[in-house]
Amino acid sequence: MSELDPSISMPVKDKPAAAAVRFRTASLSKLTVQENVLAYVFLAPSLLLFGVFLFYPLLKSVYLSLHSTDPAGRIAAYVGFDNFADLFASGQFLDGIRVTALFALLTVPAGMLLALVLAALTHNRLHGKRLFQFAFSLPLVLSVGSAAVIWKFLFHPTLGMLNYLLELAGFAPVAWLVNPDTALLSVSLMTVWMNLGFNFIILSSGMQGLPEEVYESAKIDGAGAITVFRRITLPLLSPTLFFVLVVSVISAFQAFGQINILTSGGPMDSTNVFVYSIYREAFVNFRFGTGSAQALMLFLVIMLLTLIQFKWVERKVHYQ
């Protein structure tokens, strides 16, 4: 029984059926190749833009960070990791990180808290809430340069509106941008206002998407407004808050325009955040090697902070 009976004949596929199968397989393979080619054709413009404006500058920065350059930006010599060693030895990295971290602490929590409160207030059915939503979203339409120029007039020590209001209230005028103790706080105040439009729109949109039946159930159970906000709104809004947190931290570590216009890194380097330090090193002192090393270190810091937020902070996020 272990051997096949030679008298039993096995069914043999006819040649036309086998040819049809081979033709169908070849057609499917050809169709798959055509679809892949078509997909890469559609992706080509985006890949080209990413290659020119993202990957090439990144690779160029890595190349420049390993070389010294002359004032014209030409490669002078290969120095290995000396630019990174000089960066740590001079204290530029630690000073830049300290000022940038302080700037992020002053702007991110305050900006998120203010936008959250305003979004919660305008989420209720109040008369004229559309007008308030429009007013709170207005900073979004202004560029960083325009907003910085407006606030530079407001911060003017003698002609500024802020000192005029302080004097009307009986307080002494403040040297907003020329005092090292208040310069970073002043720039942070302007940044919080400038980011208010984006944060408000994102959080207000998140609140609009919360299920109404949950609020109706809480209302039937007799929950107060603060309890509803703390036990229902915040947990359901946590994915949106997490998004705003990640974007705000990255934005704070990349702040440049308002620093350049308002203080130029001064006074006494009190507002010399990391990006402005990179700008000054590369385009003022024309040391592109050291500037590229700083840029790569900033890239690593932002990536590390983002990974930490996704690793630890995201655990507190409540996804429906």
Taking all residues of the chain, what is their mean pLDDT, rounded to a whole number?
A: 87
Task: Characterise 50 by phi-psi region: left (phi > 0), alpha (psi -120 to 50), beta (else).
Answer: alpha
Answer yes or no: pTM beyond 0.75.
yes
- Predicted local confidence at residue 196, as pLDDT: 92
Please determine, for residue 101, whether its predicted confidence score (pLDDT) is greater than 60.
yes
Please determine, for residue 183, whether its predicted confidence score (pLDDT) is greater than 70.
yes
Please determine, for residue 15, whether its predicted confidence score (pLDDT) is greater than 70.
no
Q: Indicate the pLDDT class of residue 7, thresholds 50, 70 and 90.
A: low
Q: 213 or 129, which is more confident?
A: 213
Which token pair is 266?
A: 């001064």
Tens of pLDDT along 246-260? 999 999 999 999 999
- Predicted local confidence at residue 75, as pLDDT: 85
Contact 259, 265 (CB under 8 A): yes
176 Cβ neighbours under 8 A, 6+ residues apart: 155, 157, 160, 162, 163, 182, 183, 186
Q: Say how far apart CA 287 and CA 285 lie, in whole Å.
A: 6
